[in-house]
Amino acid sequence: MSQPRWLNGRQQQQWRSVIRVCALLPEQLERDLNHQHGLTLAEYEVLARLSESPQQRMRMSDLALATLVSRSRLSHQVTRMEREGLVRREECENDRRGWLAVLTDEGMNRLLAAAPDHVESVRQHVVDQLTDEEFTTLAKVCDKLGAELDARR
């Protein structure tokens, strides 16, 4: 059995910084969205993905992949959003086993109202905290880590 490759003191401190931001940032962005618009970050992400899709609709399985949640979790999320009139489900015409999530007018209105404030929150908590070079580096690092993690999904 091989020996664990422990992090050294510097690496441990850096890793804890990463974990801290990964926990605090989504929490803050959600707090801002919820306070200003009564939306969760997950709801906003669903609305945004649907708004960017052709005919503002996506297969539920594709939406789950795009939002990085399980199909089961997305199904529960969409059910809650249906009750609020933000989305609706439609049967796939070309595949009767599949379902589409469809953005409603109310969902689009809520997204359009929330988007400027959400972007301002992202700017305040991330973009404006970094230089252009730091933000570019952060994006490159996240792309690199994300590609490796996506490959394992």
**What element of type H or E holds 58?**
strand 57-59
37, 105, 114, 145 from 132: Cα distances, Å: 29, 36, 25, 20
- For residue range 106-145, what is the model confidence (pLDDT) as tens digits? 999 999 999 999 999 999 999 999 999 999 999 999 999 9
pLDDT at position 153: 82
- For residue range 44-86, what is the model confidence (pLDDT) as tens digits? 999 999 999 999 999 999 999 999 999 999 999 999 999 999 9
Residue 1 has pLDDT above 80, yes or no: no
Q: Are 48 and 111 in contact (CB under 8 A)?
A: yes
Residue 96 has pLDDT above 80, yes or no: no
Residue spans of the domains in the chain: they are 23-152
Fold of the CATH domain 23-152: Arc Repressor Mutant, subunit A (1.10.10)
> Other C-beta atoms within 10 Å of 7: how many?
12
Give the pLDDT band of residue 93 (cuts 50, 70, 90): confident
Quote the pTM value: 0.91
Residue 16 has pLDDT above 80, yes or no: yes
pLDDT at position 54: 93
